[in-house]
Amino acid sequence: MPGPGAPLELREFDRPDPEPGGVLLRTLGSEVCGTDAHLWKGQLAGVPYPIIPGHVSVGQIAEIGPADASAPPPTDVSGAPLVVGQIVTFLDVYGTCGRCWYCTVGHATTRCPARKVYGVTLSADDGLLGGWSEYIYLRPGVHVVPLPAELHWRAFLAGGCGMPTALHAVTLGEIAFGDTVVVQGAGPVGLCAAVLAQLRGAGSVIVVGGPELRLDAATRFGADAVIDIGSTTPQERLATIREMTGGRGADVTIEATGAPTAVPEGMRLTRDAGRYVVVGQYTDAGDAGFNPHLDLNQKHLDIRGCWGSDVGHVHRAVRVMARYAQQFPWTELISREYALDDAQTALEDVAAQRVVKALIIP
Amino acid sequence: MPGPGAPLELREFDRPDPEPGGVLLRTLGSEVCGTDAHLWKGQLAGVPYPIIPGHVSVGQIAEIGPADASAPPPTDVSGAPLVVGQIVTFLDVYGTCGRCWYCTVGHATTRCPARKVYGVTLSADDGLLGGWSEYIYLRPGVHVVPLPAELHWRAFLAGGCGMPTALHAVTLGEIAFGDTVVVQGAGPVGLCAAVLAQLRGAGSVIVVGGPELRLDAATRFGADAVIDIGSTTPQERLATIREMTGGRGADVTIEATGAPTAVPEGMRLTRDAGRYVVVGQYTDAGDAGFNPHLDLNQKHLDIRGCWGSDVGHVHRAVRVMARYAQQFPWTELISREYALDDAQTALEDVAAQRVVKALIIP
Amino acid sequence: MPGPGAPLELREFDRPDPEPGGVLLRTLGSEVCGTDAHLWKGQLAGVPYPIIPGHVSVGQIAEIGPADASAPPPTDVSGAPLVVGQIVTFLDVYGTCGRCWYCTVGHATTRCPARKVYGVTLSADDGLLGGWSEYIYLRPGVHVVPLPAELHWRAFLAGGCGMPTALHAVTLGEIAFGDTVVVQGAGPVGLCAAVLAQLRGAGSVIVVGGPELRLDAATRFGADAVIDIGSTTPQERLATIREMTGGRGADVTIEATGAPTAVPEGMRLTRDAGRYVVVGQYTDAGDAGFNPHLDLNQKHLDIRGCWGSDVGHVHRAVRVMARYAQQFPWTELISREYALDDAQTALEDVAAQRVVKALIIP
Amino acid sequence: MPGPGAPLELREFDRPDPEPGGVLLRTLGSEVCGTDAHLWKGQLAGVPYPIIPGHVSVGQIAEIGPADASAPPPTDVSGAPLVVGQIVTFLDVYGTCGRCWYCTVGHATTRCPARKVYGVTLSADDGLLGGWSEYIYLRPGVHVVPLPAELHWRAFLAGGCGMPTALHAVTLGEIAFGDTVVVQGAGPVGLCAAVLAQLRGAGSVIVVGGPELRLDAATRFGADAVIDIGSTTPQERLATIREMTGGRGADVTIEATGAPTAVPEGMRLTRDAGRYVVVGQYTDAGDAGFNPHLDLNQKHLDIRGCWGSDVGHVHRAVRVMARYAQQFPWTELISREYALDDAQTALEDVAAQRVVKALIIP
C-alpha cells in the first residue's frame, strides 16, 4: 500500500535473516479488515506509507533467530519455546514499554506511546512488517500465540481481529446471565460480539445492521433477532427493541458500526441503568448530538469506550474459538479468499461490504 | 416431615381460600434436593417441624385471591398480572423486609432477618407452605416467575434450586473468556455450575466429584474432563489439574460439595491470583485447616462465600434455561420421579447419591 | 408552591394524626436546593402542584403513630425503634416497591416506577409532604435516619441533598489513591464532591466553576486549585488541566453543573482510559455535540450517569459528615437562613447563585 | 547479612560505574521492616545470602550511566528524564518480564517468575543491591519514583514499604463511605492501613494489636478505637467489635499481623457479606483452622489475599503521602534512626517490636 488512495502494488523483498529473538513466519493467511479500508482511504493519522497491510495473520514458523546473551530463545505466553514448523498467530501490537505512566500506573497499555502495530504503524521500508506478504518478520518482543490443534488456522482468521476486539468489548459489557444484548453492526466485530454474547449466557441477542448477507450470517450464528438498518428508521428500531424487552430496552448494547449517529441511537436502545460499549468508532467520522439529561443522566447509563486489544485478548480468543468450534462453524464467516495479486479486489469488496470476511492467502 | 429422623407422613389439609394478594398453585412437581436430606437429618438450625418439604416447585395457578385496597392484584416481576392457568415457579424466599440494614445499606438481602423460606422455615401447622403437596399456597408478597413456553416445567425442575444457586456462584466467580474452571462436586449445583461455566465462555471445565453416575452426567453436559474423588488422592488431583493448566491451577474454582476438607483442597487447585467461590458448605459439617501464607496470602487468592439466591437469580435462571434448552437437554438430569407416598424413598435415594435429580410429582 | 412561576404562598394545615407506622416531625430546618428552583420554573415533568417544597429536611420526632398488627413500631435502618424527641432526617424517596423488575432483577431502585419523592412528586393536597413547613408528616414506610450526637442538624443540612448525591457520584467515580479529580461545578453537589474526593485519598482536586463566592468555598474546603468558568474559555481550561496532569488530563471527572455543554468538555478534561461521572444534568436543558471517535472510543473513556440516591447513600453521608466534622466545618457552607415567609427570597437567591447553601428555618 | 542467624557484617565495596541505563544513588536512608527480621531468621525461601538488606530506600542521584543505542536515558514513570541531584525512591521489585502468562494474561505481575527484589532476592556478591549501604546501584530497568518537594524523604521512609503494601490492601478492601474498618495488627502496615482507611472515608477505624507503643501511634494517627491483644481474648474482641457495630461486625477487615490464628479471628470480626483482606501472612508461620460453613459460606464473606506491590502502588503512595502530609505527621512514626554499624541493634529492636519504624541512615 504505497499511499492513501493509490492502488496496491506487489513488491519483492529479500528474505530476512532473523536477529536474536526474532522469528520468520511463512504466511498461511492474513485477513482484510475494515481498518485496511480505512488505511487505504487515508483515514488514520500517522501511518508511515508505504506499508504492508495485514495486522492479524497466521503463519508457520520458518526460522528462529539465534539465541544470545541479550535475547533468550523466544517463547509463547506460557513460557514454552517456539519451534520451527509451529502454526502461530501474533499480536499485531508490540513494543509496549512496561515503564510509562499508562503501562505502570494507569494499567491501560493500549495507551502506551511506544506501541507499534504490524500492518498499520510500521513502514514497508523497514521490512516485512505486515501480513499481506509471503513471509512476515516478527521482531524480538512480538507476542506469539500458537494455535492449538483443535483450531484450524482458517477458522482463527475467520474471526480475525474482530474476535479479540469483540472479546474485549463484550468483556467490558459485563453481560449477566439472561441479559438482552443488542449488537449494533453486523460486520466481523458485530458478528463476533453476537456469538460471544451467547457465550456469556445472554438471554437474547439482537443484531441491528446490514446488509442482508451479514444479517443472514448473524442468524446462522445464533442471533435471536436481526433488524435491518436499510429498511427501518431509528424510531422503528427503538420501538421494536422496547417491545422485545418489556418496554425497557437492552440490558447491554455493543456498538460496532463506525457511524457516529449510531452512538446516540445506541444510548436510547439501552435500558435505564444499562451498559453501552462503544467499540466501532475507530476513525473520526464526525460529531454526533445527544441529550445529556435524557440519554445519560436520568437514564443513569454506563458508557464504555473500548479501543485496542492486548495479548491477553488474543490468547483468550484462541482458547474460546478452539473450545466452541463445534458449536460455531467459524469458517462459514469467510466469504472469499484472495491471492496476493488480487488484494486490491479484496480491499474494494471489504470497503463495499460485499463480503463478511475476506482473507489474503499469499 | 414431622421431625428430624422421623419417617415422612402423608397428611390431608383443607384447600385454602387465598386472601387478597395470595395465590393457590396446583403442584405439577417439586424437587428433592440435598437440603431436604439435611432437613431430615436435623442438620439445619431453627426449623419449625413439622414442615412440608420442597422449596423449588412448579405449579399451575388454580386460584388468585380477591384484590382489595391493601393488596393489588399479584403480578410477576415484569409487572404483568398473574392469570389462572399459568404455569409458574416462585422464589422460596419471601418476606425480605426492604428496610433493615442488610436490605438498604449492605445490599445483601439474603442476610435480612425477616426472610422466610418455603419448605424450610415455615411450619406445616401454618398451611401448605412447601412443595411436596398437591397444592401450594403462595402468601401475599411471594415472588412468582412464570415459565416461558420454550421451557417445559420438567426441564426447569431438572435444574431445580441447583440452577439459581449455581448461577449465583458462577456470577461471583467472574469467569473470563477462555478461563479454566474447576467445579468441585457433581451434584445438582456442581452440574449446573459446569454448564453455566460453558455459558460464560470457559476455555475448559473440569469436574471433580463422584459417583460415576454423576460424572457421566457431567461429561454428557459438556465437561472437558472429570476426576473421580473415589479413586484419587488430593495430591493426585492437584497434580492432574496443574498438568492440565501449564502448572498454574484453575483460574476459577467453584466448590459445591458440602465437605469441609474440599475447601482447602479447592484453594490449592486454584492458580495464584485466581478466584474461589464456596457455595457448597450449606450446613455445619465441621472445621478444616489451611495455611494462611501458602494457601491465601502468597497466592493472593480471592475467596467468595456464596449463600442463598434472590428473585433475580431465579428470573435469570429461567431465561438461561429457556434460551439454551436446545444445547443442554435439561430433563436428562432427572434420574427418577416419585409419587407423594414415595417421598421417603426419594429422600433416601438423594441422601445416598443414588440419583442425580429426583422429583416429587404429587 | 402553587404552580410553575407563581409566587410562593404560606398556607395553614391541620396538624395531622399519625396513622399506624407514621411519624410526625417538628421541622428544625429544610434546605433550598437547585431542584427547588427547577420546580419553581416548571422544569420537571409530572409534578402535582401545589406542592410543599423541601426534600431534605431535619426534624424532631413529635409523635409516632400507634402500633397495630399491620404496622409494627417504626424503626431506623439498624432496627432500633424511633423515639419521640429524636432528631432525625429521612430519605425523600419512599414507596420503592421491592417487587418490580428494576427493584429485583435490575437492582436499580431509583428506576422503580412506584417511588414517590417528598417535596417533589407529592401534592400539598395530600398533606404535609415537604420540608418547608412547621411539621412534616412521614407516611408509613418512609426511611428515617437519626442524626448522631456528633453531627449538629445545621451541619447535616449544610450538605443537604448535595451530600448523598455527591456521595453516590464519587462512589461511581471509583477514585484511586493519588488520582487527580476534576469537579465541574461549584454548587452544593460540586463542593460536596470536592470534599468527598479528598476522603477517597485523591492526590489533587481541581474545581472548575463559579462564581467567586463558591470557588472561595471550594478552596476553604481543600480544593488544590479552582478555575473560574467566568474568565476562561474551554480551551484554556483544557490546557490548564493538561498542564497540571503531565499532559494527560484528570483521572476522574465529576460533572455537577446542569449545563449540557459541560458534558463534552468534561469528556475532554478526562485522561484516556479515565472515568467520567455525570450527575448534574438533572433537567432537560438541551442537547450537546461530541465526537464519538476522539471523545469516547479512542480515549476509551468510561462515562457513568448518576441519578438519585437511596437510603444507603443518606445513611453513609450521615456517618461521613459526623466522622469528619472536625476536618470540614460543614456549617460554613450555609450562606443564609430564611424564615418560612421569606422562602420566596431564598428561592430567588438560589436561582441566581447568590448563596452557597440556603436553609429554611420554619 | 551473611546468612540466616549470623550477625550482620559491615563490608566495603568499590563504587560501581553505572552501565547504560543504570543509576547510582547516594543513600539518604533505608528502612528496617519486619521482612528484614524474617530474612535474618531465615524464614524466607530462596534468599541468595549474603545480601545487603533494605528494600525501601531513598537516595540522591549521584551518577547516571551513559546513554547508548540499547539504553535510552532513564526516566521516571511520567517520562521525565532523571537528573543528578534528584531525591528519589525506587520500586524494590524489578525485572518483571511483561511477556509471561502472569504478566500478559493473568495481569498479576507480582507472580511473574522473573521478578527480582532489591534487598531480598539479590546477592551482595552481585553488587550494591540493597539499601543498608552508602550507595545503591539501580540496574537498568529499575522503576525510579522522584519525591515531590512537599514530601521530605524522612516522611516517605516513615511509611516505608508499609505504605504501598497497605495501599494495595486497602484498595482491595474496597471500603465504602462510612464503613467500619477493623485493622488487625499495629505494625507499620497496620498503622498505614488505619490512616488510609480514613482517606477512604471510613466511618470508624478500629485497630486490634499491640504493644501499647504502637496502639498509641494508632490513636495519634486517628484510629477511633484500639483493642490491645495483650489483655483481651478473641471472644472479648469479637464481643467488643460486635457491640460497636450494631451486632454485625466490621464492614471491611484488613489483616496485617503475621499470626496464622489472626485469620480465622478476622473472618469472625467481619460482618456477613463483608470483605476481609489478608496481607500480613508474608511468611509460613503454620496452619490455622476455620469452619467453612459458619466462617465463610453462610457468612458469604469475601476474602482477598494481598501480596506484593507494583510501581503504581509506590507512585500512588508518594502522591498520597505528599498531599496529606499536613493532616498526618508521618515522621512521628519513626521511633529511632540507626547508623550502618548499628544495624544489628535496629534489627533486634524491630524483631522485638520495641519500635514503630526504624531507619538506617548510612
Q: What is the pLDDT of residues A143-162, one digit of tens each?
A: 999 999 999 999 999 999 99
**Res. D214: pLDDT tops 90:** yes
Residue by residue, DSSP assigns B104-134 as HTS--GGG-TT-EETTTTS-GGG-S-SSSSS
Sign of CA dihedral C31, C32, C35, C41: positive
Q: In this predicted structure, what is the pLDDT of residue B44?
A: 85
- Range D196-207 average pLDDT: 98
pLDDT band for position A333 (50/70/90)? very high
pLDDT of residue D308: 86
D71 confidence band (pLDDT: 50, 70, 90): confident
CATH fold label, A23-146+329-360: Quinone Oxidoreductase; Chain A, domain 1 (3.90.180)
Residues of C in contact with B312 (CB under 8 A): 104-105, 107
pLDDT surpassing 80 at residue B186? yes
| pLDDT tens per residue, range B63-115 | 999 988 777 889 998 889 999 999 999 999 988 888 899 999 988 888 888 89
CATH code of the domain made up of D162-305: 3.40.50.720
User: Which of A103, A251, A296 has the most C C-beta neighbours within 10 Å, making it the best mutation to test the interface with C?
Assistant: A296
Touching subunits of C (3+ CB pairs, under 8 Å) are: A, B, D
In the predicted model, what is the mean pLDDT of chain D?
94
Where is D169: in which H helix or E strand?
A: helix D162-173
Interchain contact C340–A (C-beta under 8 A): no
pLDDT of residue C223: 98
**Dist CA D236 CA A160 (whole Å):** 62
Class of residue B149 by CB neighbours under 10 A (exposed 0-12, middle 13-18, buried 19+): exposed
B143–chain C Cβ distance below 8 A for any pair: yes
Q: Do B307 and D291 touch (CB under 8 A)?
A: no
| Candidate from A248, A289, A297 with C-beta closest to C281 | A297
Closest to A190 measured CA to CA, from A155, A217, A212: A217
CB contact under 8 A, A104 and D311: yes
Residue range A261-274: mean pLDDT, rounded = 97
Which of these, A205, A150, A181, lies nearest to A320 by C-alpha position?
A150
* Residues in chain C within 8 Å Cβ distance of A281: 292-293, 296-298
Residues 6+ apart with CB under 8 A from A194: A181, A183, A205, A207, A218, A221, A222, A223
pLDDT value of position C109: 87
Domain ranges of chain A: 23-146+329-360, 162-305
What's the pLDDT score for residue D130?
93
Between helix B262-269 and helix B234-244 the angle, nearest 10°, is 20
pTM of the model: 0.96
Query: How confident is the model at residue D306, as a pLDDT?
Result: 95
DSSP secondary structure string, A149-177? TTS-HHHHHHHTTHHHHHHHHHHHHTPPT
Q: Is the pLDDT of residue A69 over 80?
A: no
- Residues in chain B with CB shorter than 8 Å from the CB of D101 are 246, 248
Nearest to B105 among C98, C99, C315 (CB): C315
pLDDT confidence band for A109 (50 / 70 / 90) = confident
Phi, psi (5° rounding) for residue C16? -75, 150
Is B21 a residue whose pLDDT tops 80? yes
Q: Does residue C35 surpass a pLDDT of 90?
A: no
How many other C-beta atoms are found inside a 10 Å radius of the C-beta of residue D331? 13
Interchain CB contact of D81 with C (< 8 Å): no
Residue D72: predicted pLDDT: 82
Q: Give the cell for residue A208.
A: 441491528
Residue B281 has a CB neighbour count (10 Å cut-off) of: 27
What pLDDT is recorded for position B322? 97
Closest CA–CA distance from residue A306 to any residue of chain C (Å) = 5
Cα gap C281→C308, rounded to integer Å: 11
Q: In the predicted model, is pLDDT for residue C71 greater than 90?
A: no
Question: Residue A170: what residue type?
Answer: V
Q: Which of residues 90-129 of D touch C (CB under 8 A)?
A: none
Confidence of residue A82 (pLDDT cuts 50, 70, 90): very high
Asked if D235 and D216 count as a contact pair (C-beta separation under 8 A), the reply is no
Kindly report, residue by residue over A213-238, the tens digit of the pLDDT: 999 999 999 999 999 999 999 999 99
Q: How far is D101 from chain B (nearest CA, A)?
A: 10
Mean pLDDT over D146-164 rounds to 95
The cell numbers describing B341, all together, are 407416598
Which pLDDT tens digit goes with each residue over B231-273? 999 999 999 999 999 999 999 999 999 999 999 999 999 999 9
The C-alpha cell of B4 is what?
428430624
A203 to B171: CB separation less than 8 angstroms, yes or no: no
**Nearest-CA neighbor of B286 among D289, D268, D267?**
D289
Compute the distance between CA of residue A155 and CA of residue A338 in angstroms, rounded to an integer.
16
pLDDT tens, position by position, B300-326: 999 999 998 899 999 999 999 999 999
Q: Does A178 sit within 8 Å of B171, measured CB to CB?
A: no
Residue D359 bridge partners (DSSP):
D31, D337
Cβ atoms C161, C92 nearer than 8 A: yes
Taking the Cβ of residue B327 and every Cβ of chain A, the question of whether any pair is shorter than 8 Å is answered with yes
Please report the residues numbered 11 through 50 in chain C whose beta carbons come closer than 8 angstroms to any beta carbon of chain B. Answer: none
pLDDT above 80 for A70? no
What are the tens digits of pLDDT across the range A33-59? 888 988 998 888 889 999 999 999 999
Average pLDDT, chain C: 94
- With contacts defined as CB-CB under 8 Å, which chain A residues touch C108? 272-273, 300
Smallest Cα–Cα separation from C266: which of C227, C231, C221, C313? Answer: C227
Contact with chain C for residue B319, Cβ under 8 A: no
Cβ contact B305–D302 (<8 Å):
yes
**pLDDT tens digits for C248-305?**
999 999 999 999 999 999 999 999 999 999 999 988 999 999 999 999 999 999 999 9
The whole-angstrom separation of Cα A64 and Cα A74 is 8
- Give the residue among A194, D105, A251, A173 at the shortest CA–CA distance from B203: D105
* A138: helix, strand or coil: strand
Q: Do D303 and B298 touch (CB under 8 A)?
A: no
D168 in Cβ contact with D313 (< 8 Å): yes
Test D104 with A143 for CB contact under 8 angstroms. yes
- Whether A171 sits inside 8 A of B176 (CB atoms) is yes
Say yes or no for a CB contact (<8 Å) between B300 and D282.
no
Q: D361: burial class by Cβ within 10 Å (0-12, 13-18, 19+)?
A: middle
Asked if the model's pLDDT at residue C339 lies above 90, the reply is: yes
CA of B107 vs chain D CAs: smallest distance (Å): 9
Q: Are strands D302-305 and B302-305 parallel, antiparallel or unpaired?
A: antiparallel
- Round the CA-based radius of gyration of chain C to a whole number and report it: 20
Q: Are strands A225-228 and C93-94 parallel, antiparallel or unpaired?
A: unpaired
Measured in angstroms, the CA of B355 and the nearest CA of chain D are apart by 25
Confidence (pLDDT) at B220: 96
The confidence band for B214, taking pLDDT boundaries of 50, 70 and 90, is: very high
Q: Do domains A23-146+329-360 and A162-305 have the same CATH topology?
A: no
Contact: A105, D312; criterion CB under 8 Å: yes
Q: Across residues C138-163, what is the average pLDDT?
A: 95
Q: How does DSSP classify residue B251?
A: E
pLDDT at position A337 is 96
Q: How many beta-carbon pairs below 8 A join chains B and C?
A: 47
- Whether residues A293 and C283 touch (CB distance < 8 A) is answered with yes
Q: What angle do CA C213, C180, C306 make, to 5 degrees?
A: 75
